[in-house]
Amino acid sequence: MIAMKKKILPIFIILINLFLFACTVGITIAFFAEPYEWNPGVAGFQCFKYFTIDSNLACGLGCLLFAVYYIISLVKGVEIPKWVHYVKLAVTSGITLTFLTCICFLGPVMGFGGLFGGKNFFLHLFNPILAFVSFSVLETQVLLKKSSLFGIIPTFLYSIAYVLCVVILRVWPDFYGFSFGGHFELVAVVLPIMYTVSWAIGFVLVIIRNAISHKR
């Protein structure tokens, strides 16, 4: 039974990561073919204004990277480079933030029906859960707790674009409401909170991953 699990586990890991890549790329391409059913104004390159799309696409690309190195490690019997795990941690933290924002904030305010319907089922629910299962449950490399800082990277990079386009140039509307009705100085308070939440997500992902890895 144990030997069978060791043979099946790598297959699951590869399939999940390749699915996440194919799914996110497919959905991103779909935005150029038809409007977003949840928000018809989001089409083409407009979709990249939203953290949901960016975090999912980044996760898909990170999963492809991991799958390639994972297959190489199996074939050649070598370890996956640590930086690949850190990339996977960063993108998993980003997509988990998307999931938690929907569950804790957007869902109660806007309703869960639209949030988890159509493309959103994958963007807001299914893909984040799969990414969590792959990173924290199935993958086995133990990571240092301080590596959780990599979880801040997606939020930090997006915040640069958000501040530039919403606060400075004002070419985007404040669709996340971080300015609380045009009080743009409050963004300086909100962003450190978001960075802290992103770090906490990364920390929890690493703690769960290490705890499960130590039991194997």
Three-state SS letters, 144-168: CHHHHHHHHHHHHHHHHHHHHHHHH
Query: Could you tell me which residues come within 8 angstroms of residue 166 by beta carbon, excluding any fewer than 6 positions away?
Result: 172, 173, 174, 178, 179, 184, 187
Better pLDDT: 172 or 204: 204
* pLDDT grade for 205, boundaries at 50, 70 and 90: very high
Better pLDDT: 77 or 179: 77
Average pLDDT over residues 136-161: 95
- Which has the minimum average pLDDT: 16-25, 38-47, 190-199? 38-47
Quick: pLDDT tens for 108-122.
Answer: 777 777 778 888 899
Give the pLDDT score at 113: 75
Query: Could you tell me which residues come within 8 angstroms of residue 62 by beta carbon, excluding any fewer than 6 positions away?
Result: 87, 88, 90, 91, 92
Token look-up 């997500």 returns 201
CA 119 – CA 158 distance, rounded (Å): 21
**What does DSSP assign to residue 89?**
H
Contact between residue 137 and residue 163 where contact means Cβ atoms under 8 Å apart: no
Average pLDDT over residues 204-208: 98
* pLDDT grade for 210, boundaries at 50, 70 and 90: very high
139 pLDDT above the threshold of 60: yes
Give the pLDDT score at 111: 75
The token pair at 182 is: 């045009």
Domain range for residue 179? 2-215
pTM to 2 decimal places: 0.91
Contact between residue 89 and residue 135 where contact means Cβ atoms under 8 Å apart: yes
* pLDDT grade for 62, boundaries at 50, 70 and 90: very high
Looking at the structure of the chain, the number of domains it has is: 1
Token look-up 């409007």 returns 35
39 pLDDT above the threshold of 70: no
Give the pLDDT score at 36: 65
CA 83 – CA 102 distance, rounded (Å): 29
37 pLDDT above the threshold of 70: no
Average pLDDT over residues 194-210: 97
38 pLDDT above the threshold of 70: no
**Which has the closest alpha carbon to 102: 81, 125, 82?**
125
